[in-house]
C-alpha cells in the first residue's frame, strides 16, 4: 500500500528516519539491560574476590580483637581491672564491633548488601586514607582525584588521537613519500612507555634548562585568580602530556595510516573517484564515515586503557590523580579504597561500552537495522 512516488517527491528521508529511530530505541534498551547485568555480575565478582569469598572476614575478626585488646590494655582507666573483667570488657567491645560491622551475619548475605551499596556508589569509608578535604568516604577520596586524571589523560589522548588520525589520513594519500617513510621508521619509538620519556623530559626541561616544573599539578601556594590558576595547571601539564604524546603518536599514526590505506582501496572508494567526487568528499563520506565505528572504538578503548598506565606516569610527575591514589592505597593496604577504585573503573568501563554501542548504532546502519 505504499506509494513509492510520495517518498521520492515528498519527504525523501522521513520514513527511513522514523524506522531507524524506532529500531535505535529498541536496540538501546536491550543494550542497557545487558550492560546493567554485566556490571552487576562484575561488581559482585569483585566483591567476592576482594573478600576472598569471605576469608577476609576471619582476618578482620582477628584484627578487631587485636585492636580492641590493644586499646583496652593501653587505657589507664582499665588498669586496675582483673584480667577476667578485662577479658569480659574486651569480649563485649569485640561483640559490639562485630555487630556494628555485621560480621555475625553469614558472608553470603552481606555480600548482597555490599553489592547493593556498591551499585549505589556507596563505597563506604576508608580505613586509613582521607581525601584532601579530610573526608573519609571512599567515594569522595576517589571523586576528588578524578578530575585531575581526566584532565591530564583526556588532553593527551585527544591530542594523540586527532593528530594521528589526520596525519595518517594525509599520509595514506601520499603513500611511499619521504614523510610516510619517516613516520614508519619512527613507529618503533613507541615501544618505550610514557613515563620513560617523562623521566628524560623532566631531566631536560626541569633541571638542565629549568623552564618547566618537574611535577605536581599546580604551584604552592596556588595562584589566586582562576585565570592564573588555569595557566599554571597548563604549565604543569606540558611535560606529562608531551611524554604521553611522544610515546604514542608515532605508532598511532602508523597504525591509522595502514588502516586508511586498506580502506581507501575499497571498491566503493574507487567508485566514488570514478563518480567524479572531489577528494575531500571522498575522504569524508567514503573513507572516514564507513570506518568511523572502529575509529571511535579505538578512541574510547584508549581512554580506558590509560587508566592502568597512569600509576607510574602519575608517580613520575607527582600528579595528584587516581594512579597516585591507587598507589598510596595499595601501600596502606586500604581495601575499601582499592575496591572503590575498581567499582568506579567498572562503571566507567560500562559507560564507555554503552556509549560505544549507541555510537555504533548511530554510525553504522548494519548494526542499527541488522538482520531482524
Partner 1 sequence: MASTPLLSVEDLKLHYRSSRGVVKAVDGLSFDIQRNEALVVLGESGCGKSSLAKTLLRILPRNVHHCSGRVMLDGTDIMALDEERFRRDVRWLRIAMVMQASMNALNPVVRVGEQVAEPLRVLRKWDRQRAMRKAAEVFELVGISTDFLQRYPFELSGGMRQRVVLAMALITDPELVILDEPTSALDVLTQASIMNVLKRIKRERGTSFMLITHDVATSSEIADRVALMYAGQLVEISTAGEFFRHPAHPYSKLLMASVPRLRQEQRPAHIPGQPPNLLAPPDGCRFADRCPSRFQRCAEDPKMFRLGYRRQVRCWLFAEGGKRP
Told to check if 285 binds partner 1 by CB under 8 A, we report yes
Cβ at position 256, least distance to partner 1 in Å: 18
Closer residue to partner 1, CB minimum distance, 76 or 176: 176
Told to check if 274 binds partner 1 by CB under 8 A, we report yes
Cβ at position 2, least distance to partner 1 in Å: 6
Find the binding residues for partner 1 in span 169-228 (CB under 8 A): 175-176
Closer residue to partner 1, CB minimum distance, 244 or 363: 363
Task: Answer for the pair 253, 139: CB distance below 8 angstroms, yes or no.
Answer: no
Please identify, among the stretches 120-128, 207-215, 232-240, 273-281, the one whose residues bind partner 1 according to the rule CB under 8 A: 273-281
Told to check if 16 binds partner 1 by CB under 8 A, we report yes
x/- map, 103-142, partner 1, by CB under 8 A: ----------------------------------------
Q: 354 is written with which cell numbers?
A: 554503552
Told to check if 356 binds partner 1 by CB under 8 A, we report no
Closer residue to partner 1, CB minimum distance, 84 or 267: 267
- Long-range contacts (CB closer than 8 Å, 24 or more residues apart) made by 200-208: 201/239, 201/242, 201/243, 201/246, 202/239, 202/316, 202/317, 205/239, 206/239
Residues in the chain: 372
Told to check if 4 binds partner 1 by CB under 8 A, we report yes
Of positions 273, 284, 308, 333, contacts partner 1 by CB under 8 A: 273
> How does DSSP classify residue 191?
G
Give the residue from 129, 108, 132 showing the smallest Cα distance to 47: 108
Told to check if 363 binds partner 1 by CB under 8 A, we report yes
8-45 as b/e: b if 16+ CB within 10 A: eeeeeeeeeeeebeebbeebeeebeeebeeebeebbbe
Task: Answer for the pair 213, 318: CB distance below 8 angstroms, yes or no.
Answer: no
Told to check if 266 binds partner 1 by CB under 8 A, we report yes
Cβ at position 38, least distance to partner 1 in Å: 28
Count of residues engaged in binding partner 1, rule: CB under 8 A: 36
Instruction: Write out the H or E segment, with its range, that includes residue 18.
Output: helix 14-50
Cβ at position 35, least distance to partner 1 in Å: 24
**Distance separating alpha carbons of residues 305 and 98, to the nearest angstrom:** 39
Which residues, including other chains, have CB under 8 Å from residue 111's CB and lie 6 or more apart?
A: 44, 47, 48, 51, 54
Task: Answer for the pair 160, 249: CB distance below 8 angstroms, yes or no.
Answer: yes
Place of cell 573503573: 345
**Distance separating alpha carbons of residues 223 and 133, to the nearest angstrom:** 19
Closer residue to partner 1, CB minimum distance, 3 or 80: 3
Of positions 79, 191, 276, 280, contacts partner 1 by CB under 8 A: 276
Of positions 30, 130, 289, 333, contacts partner 1 by CB under 8 A: 289
Cβ at position 270, least distance to partner 1 in Å: 6
Task: Return residues touching partner 1 (CB under 8 A).
Answer: 2, 4-5, 7-9, 12-13, 15-16, 175-176, 265-268, 270-278, 281, 285-286, 289-290, 292, 363-366, 369
Amino acid at each position: 500500500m505504499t506509494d513509492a512516488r510520495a517518498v521520492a517527491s515528498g519527504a525523501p528521508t522521513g520514513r527511513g528516519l522514523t524506522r531507524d529511530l524506532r529500531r535505535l530505541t529498541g536496540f538501546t534498551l536491550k543494550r542497557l539491560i545487558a550492560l546493567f547485568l554485566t556490571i552487576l555480575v562484575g561488581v559482585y565478582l569483585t566483591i567476592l574476590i576482594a573478600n576472598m569469598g569471605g576469608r577476609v572476614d576471619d582476618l578482620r575478626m582477628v584484627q578487631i580483637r587485636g585492636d580492641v585488646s590493644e586499646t583496652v590494655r593501653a587505657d589507664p582507666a582499665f588498669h586496675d581491672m582483673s584480667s577476667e573483667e578485662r577479658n569480659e570488657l574486651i569480649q563485649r567491645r569485640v561483640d559490639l564491633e562485630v555487630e556494628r560491622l555485621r560480621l555475625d551475619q553469614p558472608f553470603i548475605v552481606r555480600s548482597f548488601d555490599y553489592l547493593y551499596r556498591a551499585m549505589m556508589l556507596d563505597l563506604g569509608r576508608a580505613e586509613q586514607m582521607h581525601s584532601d578535604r579530610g573526608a573519609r568516604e571512599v567515594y569522595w577520596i576517589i571523586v576528588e582525584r578524578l578530575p585531575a586524571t581526566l584532565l591530564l589523560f583526556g588532553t593527551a589522548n585527544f591530542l594523540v588521537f586527532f593528530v594521528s588520525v589526520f596525519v595518517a589520513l594525509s599520509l595514506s594519500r601520499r603513500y611511499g613519500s619521504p614523510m610516510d617513510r619517516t613516520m614508519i621508521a619512527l613507529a618503533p619509538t613507541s615501544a618505550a612507555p610514557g613515563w620513560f620519556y617523562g623521566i628524560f623530559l623532566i631531566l631536560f626541561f626541569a633541571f638542565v634548562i629549568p623552564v618547566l616544573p618537574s611535577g605536581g599539578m599546580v604551584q604552592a601556594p596556588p595562584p589566586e585568580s582562576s585565570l592564573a590558576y588555569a595557566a599554571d595547571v597548563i604549565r604543569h601539564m606540558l611535560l606529562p602530556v608531551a611524554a604521553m604524546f611522544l610515546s604514542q603518536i608515532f605508532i598511532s599514526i602508523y597504525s591509522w595510516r595502514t588502516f586508511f590505506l586498506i580502506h581507501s582501496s575499497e571498491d566503493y572508494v574507487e567508485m566514488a573517484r570514478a563518480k567524479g567526487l572531489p577528494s575531500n568528499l571522498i575522504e569524508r563520506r567514503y573513507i572516514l564515515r564507513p570506518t568511523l565505528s572502529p575509529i571511535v572504538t579505538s578512541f574510547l578503548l584508549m581512554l580506558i586503557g590509560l587508566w592502568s598506565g597512569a600509576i607510574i606516569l602519575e608517580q613520575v610527575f607527582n600528579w595528584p590523580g587516581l594512579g597516585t591514589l591507587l598507589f598510596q592505597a595499595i601501600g596502606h593496604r586500604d581495601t575499601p579504597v582499592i575496591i572503590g577504585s575498581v567499582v568506579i573503573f567498572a562503571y566507567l568501563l560500562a559507560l564507555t561500552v554503552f556509549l560505544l554501542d549507541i555510537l555504533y548504532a548511530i554510525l553504522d546502519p548494519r548494526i542499527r537495522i541488522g538482520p531482524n
